[in-house]
Chains A and B, each alone.
Chain A
Amino acid sequence: MSKDFLVLDQVAKTYADGTVAVRGIDLRIAEGEFVVLLGPSGCGKTTTLRMVAGLELATGGTIRLDGKDVTGLPPSQRDVGFVFQFYALYPHLRVADNIAFPLVATGVPPRERKERVAAVAESLGITGLLDRSPRQLSGGDRQRVSLARAMVRRPRVWLMDEPLGTLDADVRDTLRDFIREQQLAHRVTTLYVTHDQEEAMALADRVVVMDAGLIQQAGPPAAVYDRPANRFVATFVGSPGMNFLPGASGEGLFVPSAGGPGIAAAGLPPGPAILGIRAEHLRLTTVGAGVPGTVAGGEYLGAWRLVHVRLGDGSLAVVRSPSSDRSDRPASAIGDAVGLAIAPAGVRWFATDGSSLEAR
């Protein structure tokens, strides 16, 4: 297995009208790895994917696949499979012919074609649909067929552009499991684009967080969630995003500007800093025992409950607790004065420019 199977070296894209979509991306993807490009719309993730596919040409840098420079090659010579966001099925072909289409192009004999279409249809549970026309299918089934078409061929790389974007939640969950299981079974190197951090975390071996045409952080899901490199990553990854308390440190103690008791901050240089903490590491307590604030609202999420607390400096903090935990329920009506208790293990430090102060 090659460690540098798919390599992006300073890859950049500037459109003819001057729009800069990607500013220079370095990425090394190992063979069999599942990498997810995550970011808000306009961050350059789709453009990056399309450059790897050859649907856009890079205006700077090189892309190497399995040691070969493919930067200027047309898509057909790269041996990649692409799943589009909007199931780009051919309406005039039956489902079976749609799935077989990539095999026709590569000259697979008819009998083998049939076998492989049957096999992939079986594993996706769409055997009964093979003789239908795409027009007769629901959105979920169309996307299944679209996935089948991408997966019937074993290309060297699977490229997926928000394939689950517009589907209902239950279909999305099922297909997400399916994609991961297939990828693990065949160990096909996969580059997957999404704006949904939950999807990214759930699927990826490695999440690449992008913003403004640049990579903000790349790492395993747990690391990106737990040790974000900057405030953008901390906010974008996780639902809700990380809470931030600005304040100042001195003599090993950090005092939030919103008030409350000092927090141990060994090793933090004196001066202004920002404390970052995830919602599950905050707990509601009495006013005196934590950072003071008032309850501004709540969200029930089934297994969890979120409480939004307005702090003295006007910012909002979010507390997450299991719905089954009734201990803080009495103190969570809108307008109640509460304190926020901070679990020391969850504390992360950031500089005022937003970059992480954690040793890495």
Chain B
Amino acid sequence: MTDHPRLAVAGLTKRFGAIQALAGVDLHVGRDELVVVLGATGAGKTTLLRTIAGLETPDAGSVAFDGAEATSWNPAARDVALMFQDFALYPDWTVRRNLEFPLRAPARRLPESEITQRIAWVAELLAIGHLLDKPSTRLSGGQMQRVALGRALVRRPRLFLLDEPLTNLDAKLRERLRLEIAALRRELHTPMLYVTHDQGEALAMADRIVVLIAGRVAQVGSAEDIYDRPASPEVARLLGHPPINLIAATASDGFWRAGDGTPLAPATATVGSRATIGIRPEHLAPNGGPRPAQIRVVQHHGAYQVATVAWAGGESHVLLPPEAALPIGTELHPSVVQDRALIWPG
């Protein structure tokens, strides 16, 4: 076996007119892992995926599969499967015909018996056997998603590329399908590059997360790494729900203090130096701190409540236990859990 990764992307750059979609992206996907590319809308995620699939030509940089330079290969030669956000099933065709389509491609045509076998295999795997003869327009969102996934799986490509495949589905269905996709991938031992703007999907599914901000890779690491030790405030803001509290602070008398003087964390830096302090809501205890904070809004989340409070010169989120009945206007005294404040000097 070689030790080349399944996919290696180096210095990928792509510009559309005035928009710099990709600005020197490096990343690799191993032979059996699920890598999630997480980024906001417009961060360049889809362009990255399309360039890897060969649907866009990069201005600079290279794409290699298993060590073979592939930047100039046409899409058909790359042997990757791409699943689109809106599924791209052909509307007049039955589910079966949609699934067979990739297997009948002239570039890699299979014998009829093999096609029949593969369809049976994928229908069983995804529990869509009863849908095979239905027209694809007659399916529900969840069923369409399954068939689209089936069309990617049936080819047994060298790499799966998924472009926000769950975005158009109900929240409840999303939670279930993200588990199924990750489990299926493990079963097939085929690597997957999964693009999303949903931090919950990224955390729950990824073996590794690549955070993409404005066309650049901002951080790479495991979900825990990135959640616990984000490289910058921008990365910290992308992960976590409710979002992290970010507060500008100045060092004085041994503490990082917010603009209104609220102490946030112990400081060893010289007096007067500045930093951004990040405090995740679960690390901000509702009481025990020195300064009062008035509750502006309370939102119930079932297992906990999220209070938006006026604190440290701005608004912060605090988690409350589910049974706490605190009306708007109640005063809390938030305190930062020891050692859990994140500090970015500058």
Contacts and interface: CB of A to CB of B under 8 A. Distances in A.
A binds B: yes
Interface of A: 40-42, 138-139, 166, 168-170, 173, 176-177, 180-181, 184, 195-199, 201-203, 221-222, 225-226, 236-241, 278-280, 297, 299-303, 306, 308, 320, 322-324
Interface of B: 40-42, 140-141, 167-168, 170-173, 175, 179, 183, 197-200, 203-204, 223-224, 227, 237-243, 280-282, 296-297, 299-303, 306, 308, 319, 322, 328
A177 B306 CA distance: 11
Contacts, number: 108
A302 B41 contact: no
Contacts of B167: 166
Nearest to A236: B172
Contact of B171 (A195, A278, A308, A323): A195
Q: Which 7 A-B pairs have the closest CB atoms?
A: A202-B299, A221-B300, A299-B204, A196-B171, A303-B282, A225-B302, A195-B170
- The majority secondary structure among interface residues of chain B is mixed
B143 to A, nearest CB: 12
A196 B173 CA distance: 10
- The majority secondary structure among interface residues of chain A is mixed
Contacts of A197: 171-172
B179 A184 contact: no
Nearest to A280: B303
Contacts of A166: 167-168
B297 A177 contact: yes
A324 B238 CA distance: 20
Contact of B303 (A138, A170, A238, A297): A238
A180 B299 contact: yes
A301 B243 contact: no
Given A237-B302, A297-B183, A300-B203, 4 more contacts: A196-B170, A196-B171, A198-B171, A300-B224
Contacts of B197: 168-169
A215 B300 CA distance: 21
B302 A238 contact: yes
Contacts of A196: 170-171
- Of the candidates A177, A306, A308, the one having the most CB atoms from chain B within 10 angstroms of its own CB is A177
Given A41-B170, A299-B179, A322-B282, A239 B302 contact: yes
Contacts of B306: 202
Contact of A201 (B198, B199, B282, B301): B301
